Structure 1
Amino acid sequence: MIRPLLISLIALVTLCGQAGAQYASNSPYGKPERRDPIFLRFPEMAQRYWVNTETMAASHKSVAVPMPRQCAFVYADSYTRGQMSEREVQDTALSTCNRKLAELGPLGENYNINCQCKVVISDDKYVVPRDSMPEQAYGPASIFYRDGQGNIARLNGSARYGALIGHDRSVTFSIDNVNAEPVCEGTFTNEAPNSGRFSLSCFNGKFGGNGNYESRTGAPNDHIVARGQNRNGQPIVMVIGLPAQLATNTYGGI
């Protein structure tokens, strides 16, 4: 009963998104660039969009992400197969994005906004206003730590950063709470393609720590998990890319 209802809901959301779809030929919003934040967040998509000969040369290609501000760490890119039209490629990307978003579960503990998938790029044109796209990369974030009494505490919100983690040597990031108030800042230092060191400072230096991070693909979603210790030797776990509930179920035990 639940599964058919979920499928129907995804179809309805996709249909609603189609009503506002825009073709590249009618878009005044300009062309995407390789270093745009959307491609910094999703290097696998960037590889297909800009590098792989088969996909980059497709007659139609579309990218759909949750909006506003790419509010969840998921995406869907679609490319022409056979005689697919631009609209069909858009529909495929939007449907895939909605399915991935539904699989993640609720985002209300990370964002105080309504997060919905939308086609943002079609045939090498932005089809949404450029000022609606983020200037940095965004993703849901959760930090797990032990308080002064040794109890497990949790901070939920969203992370943002402006460089490609795992490719750029050093990447600074910041974390806002669910009310979009800045609470933490830190740095990822790359030591290997998918891992390195991190440092974190929160609440104006009252809380922080450092340790190692690892980028993980899939299972259940592309995300970053960082493990370390605070100044008192207590463990810290930071997860970027998973909603709070999913992050808690996967890593919340510290």
Structure 2
Amino acid sequence: MNRILGLFLLATVALASGAWAQSQGRAERRDAIFLRFPEMAERYWVNPETNAASHKVVAVPMPRQCAFVYADSYSKGHMSESEVQQLAVSSCNRKLAELGPLGENYSVDCRCQVVISDEHYVVPRNTLPTESYGPVSIFYRDPNGNVARLNGLARYGALIGRDRSVTFRIDNPRGERVCEGTFTNDSPGSGRYSMSCFGGKFSSNGSYQSKTGSPNDHIIARGHTGQGQPVSMVIGLPAQLAGGLYGGI
């Protein structure tokens, strides 16, 4: 009997240790990931039907949410936590596949994984971005009038549309900083931008709009260089998709 009790206690400790190892801290309503996706936050924390679900899971592309998509799933009936996690990852991967390849923007292997499960982080907090990340493509005309393109990764530390002024930077696929700029909010979905690239050799000013829905939430900015040449910048769509929609500038 004592041996059985000892084995039971040992198993209980092992299970508890495993659960503790998986938890990377409790998720909060004001965490950056929920601020970036207010619709998800509403379902996860407020909506009575989904908030009361036995299991609640969030999956995003990693590392550092390499694409601006997400999937949140909620248990129905007797679904297990594992089943809800699989559902969230599958939904996230489907959205990621719909965007197309990201290799022209950056070289990381972007894949969906569970980051929050039942109000606890299951990845280290420092692996999640404190900034917003997204693929970016800039289309412009060179001095000869030919269309040129710069692909890379955009990052900005605040919420465009909620903060009056948001600074951003753009890295090329090798991770080198090539552009810096500012979005100035005039209304929740639009405003002005200014940008300087390649150490001041290329600059642009104009306006931007936030687009929601299919094929993915994204930002389209249009303006001109100092020489009057047109410029288009797309944040949130992979290079191929951005080129097909906006590459004609």
TM-score (normalizing by structure 1): 0.86
How does 1:106-125 map onto structure 2 within 5 Å? 106-125=101-120
* CA distance in structure 1 between the aligned counterparts of 2:90 and 2:108, rounded to whole angstroms: 21
Q: Which residue pairs with 2:39 in the alignment?
A: 44
Residues 40 and 163, structure 1, Cα contact 8 Å, conserved in 2? no
SS in 1 for 2:89: helix
Q: Which residue pairs with 2:180 in the alignment?
A: 185
1:192–1:236 Cα change, 3 Å: same
1:248–1:169 Cα change, 3 Å: same
Q: Which residue pairs with 2:91 in the alignment?
A: 96
Q: Which residue pairs with 2:168 in the alignment?
A: 173
- RMSD (Å), alpha carbons: 1.7
Could you tell me how far 1:33 is from its partner in structure 2?
3.3
Which deviates more from structure 2 when the two are superposed, residues 109-118 or residues 78-87?
78-87
Among 201, 222, 229, the residue aligned to 1:234: 229
Q: Structure 1 vs Structure 2: percent identity of aligned residues?
A: 71
Over 4 Å off, 4+ runs: 23-26
Among 50, 59, 69, the residue aligned to 1:55: 50
* CA distance in structure 2 between the aligned counterparts of 1:162 and 1:31, rounded to whole angstroms: 22
Q: Which residue pairs with 2:69 in the alignment?
A: 74
* CA distance in structure 1 between the aligned counterparts of 2:225 and 2:51, rounded to whole angstroms: 45
Could you tell me how far 1:69 is from its partner in structure 2?
1.3
Q: Structure 2 stretches of 5 or more lacking a match?
A: 1-17
Could you tell me how far 1:207 is from its partner in structure 2?
0.9
Say if 2:158 is the partner of 1:163.
yes
Q: Structure 1 stretches of 5 or more lacking a match?
A: 1-22
Among 173, 185, 202, the residue aligned to 1:207: 202
Q: Which has the higher contact order (CA 8 A, sep 6+)?
A: 1
SS in 2 for 1:71: coil
Could you tell me how far 1:83 is from its partner in structure 2?
2.7
Could you tell me how far 1:81 is from its partner in structure 2?
2.3
| 1:167-202 Cα distance to aligned partner (Å, 9 max, x none) | 122111111000111111111111112111111111
How does 1:208-227 map onto structure 2 within 5 Å? 208-227=203-222
Q: Which has the larger radius of gyration?
A: 2
SS in 1 for 2:40: helix
| 1:110-155 Cα distance to aligned partner (Å, 9 max, x none) | 0111111111111111101112112211110011111111111100
Q: Which residue pairs with 2:144 in the alignment?
A: 149
* CA distance in structure 2 between the aligned counterparts of 1:132 and 1:176, rounded to whole angstroms: 19
TM-score (normalizing by structure 2): 0.87
SS in 2 for 1:204: helix
Could you tell me how far 1:163 is from its partner in structure 2?
1.1
* CA distance in structure 2 between the aligned counterparts of 1:54 and 1:250, rounded to whole angstroms: 37
1:164–1:205 Cα change, 3 Å: same
Could you tell me how far 1:27 is from its partner in structure 2?
2.5
Say if 2:22 is the partner of 1:27.
yes
* CA distance in structure 2 between the aligned counterparts of 1:40 and 1:174, rounded to whole angstroms: 20
How many aligned residue pairs are there? 232
